[in-house]
Amino acid sequence: MSVNFQIESLSTGQFTFTCFEQDERVYGPFDSYDDALLAVTAHKMECIDCDVYGCYANAVLDVDVYVNMSNANAAMILAVLGLDVDPEDGIMGSMDAEQFLGYVMMALAAERDNAAVPATVDSLPGCATVVDCGLPEGYVEERLTQLADLATEAVRLGRTVHWA
């Protein structure tokens, strides 16, 4: 599982679809959902993979900016930001972009140990082996910088920041 931190997006009113057999070729944009469905139906008659596995019309969004990280890393970053999250309840939320940027800038200004976190392997007889790949040196700073860029763009657009 993973968490995307993203800028609130609005639909442009256009639609596309993707063919996975043809190296994820995107078709469109189409000016209406009905036009996209007609194109999908015609495409499925020619593409057996899309007919069998599915091919769907997707709304074109005006903003497609996000930062993706694993659930555990997202929970850690939210904790660094001072935003407590209970991973058992799911990691989701939203915040005004200026407020979120404030949290990120405070976290970037704070002193912290930026050392690498070593990988670990937990294995008990008869149980699954759990491998934690650790974190490279500077991971937290890198992610906070990416979130600062995302929040700055959200402020510029007058949008909120969402994570889920």
Percent of the residues in the chain that have a pLDDT greater than 70, as a whole number: 99
Query: How many alpha carbons fall within 13 Å on the CB side of residue 55?
Result: 28
Please give the structure tokens belonging to residue 130: 């759990």
User: Which residue shows structure tokens 């989701």?
Assistant: 92
Q: Are 14 and 31 a contacting pair, CB within 8 Å?
A: yes
Which sign does the torsion angle of CA 104, 105, 110, 113 carry?
positive
Cis before 29 (ω within 30)? yes
**pLDDT, tens digit (0-9, with 9 covering 90-100), for 109-150:** 999 887 888 888 888 888 898 878 889 999 999 999 999 999
User: What mean pLDDT do residues 92-119 have?
Assistant: 92
pLDDT beyond 80 at 23: no
Report H helices in the chain.
33-46, 48-53, 71-80, 97-109, 139-157
Q: Would the pTM of this model clear 0.85, i.e. be above it? A: no
Q: Is 63 helix (H, G, I), strand (E, B) or coil?
A: coil
Q: Which amino acid is at 153?
A: E
Q: Are 138 and 114 a contacting pair, CB within 8 Å?
A: yes
**pLDDT, tens digit (0-9, with 9 covering 90-100), for 43-88:** 999 999 999 998 999 999 999 999 999 998 999 999 999 998 776 7
Using alpha carbons, select from 7, 10, 12 the residue that is nearest to residue 159: 7
Please give the structure tokens belonging to residue 26: 């995107």
Distance CA 76, CA 56 (A): 35
Using alpha carbons, select from 74, 84, 66 the residue that is nearest to residue 135: 74
Please give the structure tokens belonging to residue 157: 């657009």
